[in-house]
Structure 1
Amino acid sequence: MTRPPTRFAAATGPRRTLAAIVCLALLAWLPSAPAATTCTASSTALSFGSTSGAGNVDSTATVTVECSTSGLSLLATARVRMCLNIGAGVNGGGSTAPRRMTNAFGDPMQFQIYSDPARTQIWGDSLIAATPTPVLIDLEYSVPLLGGSGEASATMQARIPVQAGLAAGTFSNPFSGTHTRLEYRYAVQVTGTPPFPVSCTSGGDGGGTATFPFTATATVPDNCTIGSATTLDFGTVGGAVATDVDQTSTITMTCTQRTAWDVALDDGQNASGGVRRMRLGASADYLDYELYRDAARTQRWGATPGTDTEVGTGTGSAQALTVHGRVPATQSVPAGAYGDVITVTVSY
């Protein structure tokens, strides 16, 4: 007698249901991996351009902070509390009130960095007693399953104030190394929103530090202005010029400190053969005279740079140059008022 083959029915329904329940339970029991948060910061350059010190010069720069959270999580929210600190800078001489830049000679230029557009609140460093006022930022962003990030920024509101006696040159102050500091603490919660850490240095789930180096720069151009040039009056001579007649006049000018200058005097309107002459009105009568750089009247003052001009360096204050004039003997000319016009040229 032949028996039909035995058939077995797979009990798939209940077993699959049980397996699904077990997997869900395991997933629910899995602890979420710790979510690590890291923050970095960067800054644009703080460039003031050109200044003479006669008026305020304002500029801005932007500090950007980016924080990223990685690690297994389930729709988490991250909150970061951060402090942005700015110190004195490499060339600041340890001072933040005021801050300063220097040129190649070490000459100072005062400036300041503020945290508000009105430029009244100094952007400082919590470790510096004179200006313990860093910029505080709170950042919140969502963290999906595999991680998330957020970004925040702050603007430096900087100013070079009015100041006299600035030296010429390119000024700078690098804020590198310990002269900038980002301090932050973060909190991450798997569901809902965690409270912000107590401060940028305590509380929360963790924290760290970073830097945001930048350089402040400004330029003071060379500059000179002529204030005055007095008349060289030889007075009145009775009859022929029998002896040398000497007189002086003064040129006053102001040049930016450390500006190299060169002062030239032309030969006037009536010179002949390299000899300066004064003229009697519109006539053909002339009276010889000469201009010198020294009291002994041996160094003619001319207009050839490096040869017979007067050179010097600006101090930032008015400088007076003496022109030593002489009408040489012996000359016999018609009576009358003689005159000439000399052009003073300052090169810098």
Structure 2
Amino acid sequence: MRNFLVSSLILGSSLVALNTNAAGTDSTTFQVKITVNESCKFTNAQDVNFDAIDRSTGKQNTATGQLDITCTLGTPYKIALNGNGKMSNASNSGSTIAYNLFQDAQYSQAWDKSNTLANTGSGNSQALTVYAKLTGENNVEAGNYLDTVTATVTY
């Protein structure tokens, strides 16, 4: 019985050794990939609201609004603003008040469909101030005046 146990142990050990030597290995490689596309999205638009004025004051009133945009990091973009340049009376569209939009607080850089604001995306939301200034006669019919401006980003 003792010889049988010793023989069994020796035979079992050699089988284990045989299996270890007989096992093969193989390897390969693969890549992890992604494509990041450039993109720009407006995330918010704050209206330009002029303070109420009295008729015939001749006051050159100014106001600001804001556009929030998020563009991928390093993406160059341009924003054009397209409006009428005149706010129309809600009750009488023939009565208008002229205005201009600007890129800067000094009101020296126009911002419209031809004069675009150029910038580069940071990957985070960027707040862009829209500066506005009344430019014409404001001795007009009393009422609420409005113009709709379309902001378009090209990247």
Q: What TM-score does the superposition give when structure 2 sets the normalisation length?
A: 0.77
Q: Sequence identity, in percent?
A: 28
The 3-state SS of whatever aligns with 1:196 is helix
The amino acid of 1:277's aligned partner reads K
Deviations 1:141-179 (A, max 9, x none): xxxxxxxxxxxxxxxxxxxxxxxxxxxxxxxxxxxxxxx
Assess if the C-alpha contact under 8 Å between 1:243 and 1:329 holds in 2: no
Take 2:113 and 2:28, find their aligned partners in 1: how far apart are those partners? 53
Take 2:153 and 2:138, find their aligned partners in 1: how far apart are those partners? 33
Give the corresponding residue for 1:344.
151
Give the corresponding residue for 1:254.
70
**Structure 2 unaligned runs (5+)?**
1-16
Take 1:330 and 1:337, find their aligned partners in 2: how far apart are those partners? 15
**Which residue of the other structure, out of 89, 98, 115, is the alignment partner of 1:280?**
89
How far 1:317 moved relative to its partner?
Answer: 1.2
**Which residue of the other structure, out of 21, 26, 50, is the alignment partner of 1:197?**
21
**Which residue of the other structure, out of 288, 293, 299, is the alignment partner of 2:109?**
299
Take 1:340 and 1:329, find their aligned partners in 2: how far apart are those partners? 15
The 3-state SS of whatever aligns with 1:197 is helix
> Higher Cα Rg: structure 1 or 2?
1
**Which residue of the other structure, out of 219, 239, 251, is the alignment partner of 2:35?**
219
Deviations 1:67-123 (A, max 9, x none): xxxxxxxxxxxxxxxxxxxxxxxxxxxxxxxxxxxxxxxxxxxxxxxxxxxxxxxxx
How far 1:321 moved relative to its partner?
Answer: 0.3
Assess if the C-alpha contact under 8 Å between 1:241 and 1:328 holds in 2: no
Give the corresponding residue for 1:235.
51
The amino acid of 2:52's aligned partner reads T
How far 1:216 moved relative to its partner?
Answer: 3.7
Take 2:31 and 2:44, find their aligned partners in 1: how far apart are those partners? 41
1:83-102 equivalence runs, <5 A = none
1:173-212 equivalence runs, <5 A = 194-197=18-21, 212=28
How far 1:328 moved relative to its partner?
Answer: 2.2
**Which residue of the other structure, out of 117, 134, 144, is the alignment partner of 1:327?**
134
Task: Name the structure with the higher strand share.
Answer: 1
**Which residue of the other structure, out of 90, 95, 120, is the alignment partner of 1:313?**
120
**Structure 1 unaligned runs (5+)?**
1-192, 201-209
Assess if the C-alpha contact under 8 Å between 2:55 and 2:138 holds in 1: no
Judged with a 3 Å threshold, the aligned counterparts in structure 2 of structure 1 residues 329 and 241 are, in CA distance, closer, same or farther, namely: farther
Take 2:50 and 2:30, find their aligned partners in 1: how far apart are those partners? 61
Deviations 1:37-59 (A, max 9, x none): xxxxxxxxxxxxxxxxxxxxxxx
1:90-129 equivalence runs, <5 A = none
Take 2:40 and 2:102, find their aligned partners in 1: how far apart are those partners? 22
The amino acid of 1:260's aligned partner reads P
Take 1:241 and 1:251, find their aligned partners in 2: how far apart are those partners? 30
The 3-state SS of whatever aligns with 2:58 is coil
Give the corresponding residue for 1:290.
100
How far 1:302 moved relative to its partner?
Answer: 1.3
How far 1:282 moved relative to its partner?
Answer: 4.6
Name the Cα RMSD after superposition: 2.6
The amino acid of 2:124's aligned partner reads S
Assess if the C-alpha contact under 8 Å between 1:259 and 1:314 holds in 2: yes
Take 1:235 and 1:241, find their aligned partners in 2: how far apart are those partners? 13
Assess if the C-alpha contact under 8 Å between 1:243 and 1:330 holds in 2: no
